[in-house]
Amino acid sequence: MMKNIHLERNDMGNNKKQKTKIKTDKLSGILAAVALVLAGIGVGLTGGKITAIFNPEEKEVEVYMETKGSITLSDEQPEAVIENENGELETEQLPAVEEISGDEFNTEEGLDLGQGAYYDYSTPTAWKNATMGQCIDFDGKWGSQCVDAFATFHYEYTGRWADVCGTGAARGLWKCKENNAGDEYDLITDVTKVQAGDWLIFDGGKYGHVGMAMGPYNNGYVALLGENQGGAKCPGGGAATNIINMSTKTFLGAFRPKIYEQPEPTPAPVVDKCQSWDLKKGDTLGQVMKECENRIVWGSAMDDYAKTWVDESTGQVVYDGWYNSSNGVGLYAGHKIVRK
């Protein structure tokens, strides 16, 4: 993480122009931060203009971006946690973002649906692989905005149109949460319960933001796949799908597709060792009696106890193993004995 970097973002008039000021005590930190801003955040927010001015004496860079929406960088840049296709968690250094406000979304039905493209949504990873770097313009207006990606997923998955309650804004998806959820989604209100595949709705700015979680909640952030959040510039405006490390401070709620629900792990059955005992090398029937009967009694009492246990693999009573086998063995490591 680049802890020596201070990022200051100021709006400069109706979200049309913004200035990011970067201060650091190391020249290498400045260069890394500029690369982060230009490559990971600024380019293609809404296809705006970017200007960077470097002052070597003050060790400071000012980056100016003219946009329709706005992105506010986090002061710190913590690592993102992403779930891979095997369900394992991995860390990755991604641009950490405090707040996003995209552009307006057209609420009319019967529009373009991204030039008829279909994107595999069978798993969160499949959706990521299908849409990463793509310019999805569902409504055919204002280019590739964040709601376009959700609207495309929602239409493919449910056959219904996303409802923003007439707001034209991403946050409107949560205002109409019951209507959008239908029978296909569960509504998640506890951000700490977020999992890969959830569609997260954020407040902030004029329009808010929406994207798909690529991993769990992680100390106030979540890896977020979405459009118009700093990806490559799209021809019609907006920005292509990318992944950022998004702050959850403006989290409103999430839609969890029921096809992505991760079932609660089935608890391992509790085995009563006094009814079933997996034998290990060195186990004795005296040890079994002590644990199960809280006593050890030798002689005929032990013989009678041995007659109550059967080797599941051989079907032989433990007592018979002692007195009827050539080697006098009744317990075998790796076998299981069960009570009659």
Each residue's pLDDT tens digit, 86-103: 888 999 888 888 888 766
- pLDDT tops 50 at residue 39: no
Q: pLDDT at position 205, please?
A: 83
Q: What is the pLDDT of residue 19?
A: 47
pLDDT at residue number 139: 78
Q: Which of 56-65, 75-84, 254-263, 312-321 is predicted least confidently?
A: 56-65
Handedness of CA 52, 53, 56, 59 (dihedral sign): negative
Per-residue confidence band for 192, with pLDDT thresholds at 50, 70 and 90: very high
Q: Where residue 105 falls among pLDDT bands split at 50, 70, 90? A: low
Q: For a pLDDT cut of 90, what percent of the chain falls above it?
A: 38
Percent helix, strand, coil in the chain, to 5, is 25, 25, 50
Euclidean distance between CA atoms 263 and 269, whole angstroms: 17
- pLDDT of res. 59: 61
The answer on pLDDT for 299 being more than 50 is yes
pTM of the model: 0.62
Domains of the chain: residue spans and CATH: 69-260 (3.90.1720), 276-339 (no CATH)
pLDDT of residue 326: 66
Mean pLDDT computed over 22-32 = 48
CA distance 42 to 232: 9
- On average, the pLDDT of the chain sits at 79
> What does the block give as tokens for 97?
């973002």
| Bridge partners (DSSP) listed for residue 70 | 101
Lowest mean pLDDT among 22-26, 117-121, 177-181: 22-26
Check whether 27 has a pLDDT greater than 60: no
How confident is the model at residue 224, as a pLDDT? 97
Mean pLDDT, rounded, for 109-120: 62
Residue 141 · residue 167 · CB < 8 Å: no
